[in-house]
Structure 1
């Protein structure tokens, strides 16, 4: 559950410095403190709930959501939480054409799956296996997180739209719905489900991801749509003081 105390503790309300503002994010900002923009958490909670409701509908109907964040400091949490929720993920470098040339990517996924089977049968550290292991490790690094995908995802969850411009571009071309954490320096255009918030702090990212995965697990298991009635009070003044 996303509470006010958790939001403040996780620094979700802290945007970037004023000089880095994307004007299109102005409507999600409530003030400024020490030259740092303060995000309107009332809007964050409302939009986050809306995004989770959509995610739960997809999950209850066994749809595929691809989790994307290739920032170095998030790789471990993305991998562990995606595995916990049974989600495909990309936590390494985005391969150009992952969506727009999916046929090629899908062939690589199939190749990786076949290599997993072969790896169980071959004797490691024997002559002729070193080249196989090198190829296997490379595919595992960039394709491994997508091995459960048989088709393009039904939606993607992206952390930091500025950092993942190419991901957004490819998703829009193929009309794949985008759910994204959008900071004050990001462009909110072309995002279907915007969640205004800090997308740099690892504490914030952990909170987003854990809530996302908990919602997915619950919806898959009980086939129930998310309807968390969070009581939204007048708390923005408390943050800016």
Structure 2
């Protein structure tokens, strides 16, 4: 069932051979219609290893942060995180989010205060210009930090969709020793990954399938 589902959503489809990363060779079984074909048998094996890891981590009360800012991943990242009471970044990774956590936490604190002010209806009493300024700043903070507004410390595990797009996030995790789980397409570098799953990371449905499976495992633990 897993293989049929991943094939149906294009989880096996990699990039054109000219765009591949040679170190992904062990996870590629063929080249068809101008694209590399990923080995779903290995995808399944690696997914199961990751599921065992996140299950153990959850039982140890670890916290999870889902990260994916490219358009194909953004919506699924938010859905997966919310479904297992985790955190997420799906619009833009703010440099230093983890390595300069003390500073970022101040911005989160500001967002929390603005949320409180809005809930209390105080904004309705503000002059028009001030109210407009407040609304713009609140919308900006909510867009970029809304998925982590209740996060009080750096996460224990970061789940990433889009290795190339999220290189800054990966580097910050590596610097801090935070465990990562990455969806790896045929143009990615497995040497730069911690735990990973070989799969198409450009298909909306493939990304959603994998993230739903992982969030379900976190919820179960």
Deviates more, 1:58-67 or 1:48-57: 58-67
TM-score, normalised to structure 2, is 0.94
Native 8 Å contact 1:172 1:190 kept in 2: no
| Cross-structure match for 1:167 | 169
Give runs of aligned pairs for residues 9-158 of structure 1, distance below 5 A. Answer: 9-121=8-120, 122-124=122-124, 126-127=126-127, 128-158=130-160
Residues 111-154 of structure 1, C-alpha deviations (whole Å, 9 max, x = no match) = 21122111112143741322222211111111111112111110
C-alpha deviation, 1:178, in angstroms: 1.0
C-alpha deviation, 1:192, in angstroms: 1.4
Question: Tell me, what secondary structure is at the counterpart of 2:14?
Answer: strand
| Cross-structure match for 2:208 | 206
Question: Tell me, what secondary structure is at the counterpart of 1:189?
Answer: helix
C-alpha deviation, 1:213, in angstroms: 1.4
Distance 1:193 1:131, change over 3 A: same
Mind listing any 5+ residue stretches in structure 1 that lack a counterpart? 220-241
Native 8 Å contact 1:162 1:187 kept in 2: no
TM-score, normalised to structure 1, is 0.86
C-alpha deviation, 1:32, in angstroms: 1.3
**Over aligned residue pairs, what C-alpha RMSD do you find?**
1.4
Mind listing any 5+ residue stretches in structure 2 that lack a counterpart? none
